């Protein structure tokens, strides 16, 4: 009996700490997402010194807003919070697959080989354009429990991580687009202005 109570308690504790939220869209998501032209998207984010319940609740709220917007990644600066926190989930179909939470992510190494991939961003809705980036990366980060982790990422997940990490430096994917005509056209068609792009 005692043991099963302890197990139950551990399970409850785990559930409380879990970052998993319902992946269904909400009528009123908790956080608004800033769009291209908002100064919040251009500020550098600061490192998180303590991973606590406040950070975990922020991550959950970011996930709720991300699922509602049908996005696969969201960075804290996109909701006006200048902290180095990213949430990513490329599998909306499976309710039990936990999302990836990256705190203070750093790139340890990038592949010399590059890939072209069409990107979009919840802060620039409707705009999709090709971006060239390293094909694979190795990163270090802390997870939602504050545990230090390392990971190799390529394909879609590697691409999403690189896109989201840019947000922590105030960089948007349109800054990296080399096809200037395509960029102007696509932005114009979706109500955005080229003057808000900071080409790199």
Residue 121 Cβ vs Ni ion, minimum distance, rounded to whole Å: 3
Q: Based on the shown chain and the rule CB under 5 A, indicate whether residue 51 belongs to the binding site for Ni ion.
A: no
Task: Judge whether 186 counts as a catalytic residue.
Answer: no
> What's the rounded Cα separation, in Å, for the pair 175 and 133?
12
Residues 6+ apart with CB under 8 A from 65: 29, 30, 31, 32, 33, 74, 79
3-state secondary structure of 42: helix
Residue 12 Cβ vs Ni ion, minimum distance, rounded to whole Å: 35
Query: Among all residues, whose Cβ is closest to Ni ion?
Result: 121
Q: Which is nearer to Ni ion, 146 or 169 (CB)?
A: 169
Instruction: Show the tokens assigned to 102.
Output: 């990256």
| Residues in region 90-129 near Ni ion by CB under 5 A | 121
> What's the rounded Cα separation, in Å, for the pair 106 and 48?
13
Residue 75 Cβ vs Ni ion, minimum distance, rounded to whole Å: 7
Q: How many residues bind Ni ion (CB under 5 A)?
A: 1
Residue 61 Cβ vs Ni ion, minimum distance, rounded to whole Å: 17
> What's the rounded Cα separation, in Å, for the pair 176 and 198?
9
What end-to-end distance do the CA atoms of the chain give, in Å?
Answer: 63
Q: Which is nearer to Ni ion, 143 or 175 (CB)?
A: 175
Helix (H) or strand (E) holding 155: helix 155-167
Q: Do residues 170 and 41 make contact, with C-beta atoms less than 8 angstroms apart?
A: yes
Residue 124 Cβ vs Ni ion, minimum distance, rounded to whole Å: 7
Q: Do residues 144 and 50 make contact, with C-beta atoms less than 8 angstroms apart?
A: no
> From the candidates 164, 186, 189, 193, which is the catalytic residue?
164
Q: Which is nearer to Ni ion, 76 or 150 (CB)?
A: 76
Q: Which is nearer to Ni ion, 35 or 136 (CB)?
A: 35
Q: Which is nearer to Ni ion, 55 or 121 (CB)?
A: 121
Per-residue contact string for residues 133-172; x = within reach of Ni ion by CB under 5 A: ----------------------------------------
> What's the rounded Cα separation, in Å, for the pair 34 and 30?
13
Q: Do residues 53 and 19 make contact, with C-beta atoms less than 8 angstroms apart?
A: no
Q: What are the residues binding Ni ion (CB under 5 A)? A: 121
Q: Could you list the active site residues?
A: 164
């Amino acid at each position: 009996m005692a043991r099963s109570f302890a197990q139950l308690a551990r399970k409850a504790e785990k559930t409380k700490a879990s970052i998993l939220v319902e992946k269904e869209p909400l009528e009123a998501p908790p956080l608004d997402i800033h769009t291209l032209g908002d100064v919040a998207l251009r500020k550098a984010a600061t490192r998180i010194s303590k991973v606590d319940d406040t950070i975990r609740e922020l991550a959950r709220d970011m996930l709720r807003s991300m699922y509602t917007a049908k996005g696969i990644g969201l960075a804290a600066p996109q909701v006006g919070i200048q902290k180095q926190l990213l949430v990513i989930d490329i599998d909306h179909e499976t309710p039990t697959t936990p999302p990836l939470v990256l705190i203070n992510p750093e790139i340890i190494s990038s592949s010399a080989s590059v890939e072209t991939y069409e990107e979009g961003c919840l802060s620039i809705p409707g705009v999709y354009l090709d971006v060239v980036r390293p094909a694979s990366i190795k990163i270090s980060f802390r997870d939602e429990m504050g545990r230090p982790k390392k990971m190799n990422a390529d394909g879609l997940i590697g691409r999403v991580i690189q896109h989201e990490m840019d947000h922590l430096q105030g960089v948007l994917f349109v800054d990296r687009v080399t096809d200037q005509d395509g960029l102007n056209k696509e932005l114009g068609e979706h109500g955005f202005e080229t003057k808000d792009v900071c080409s790199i």
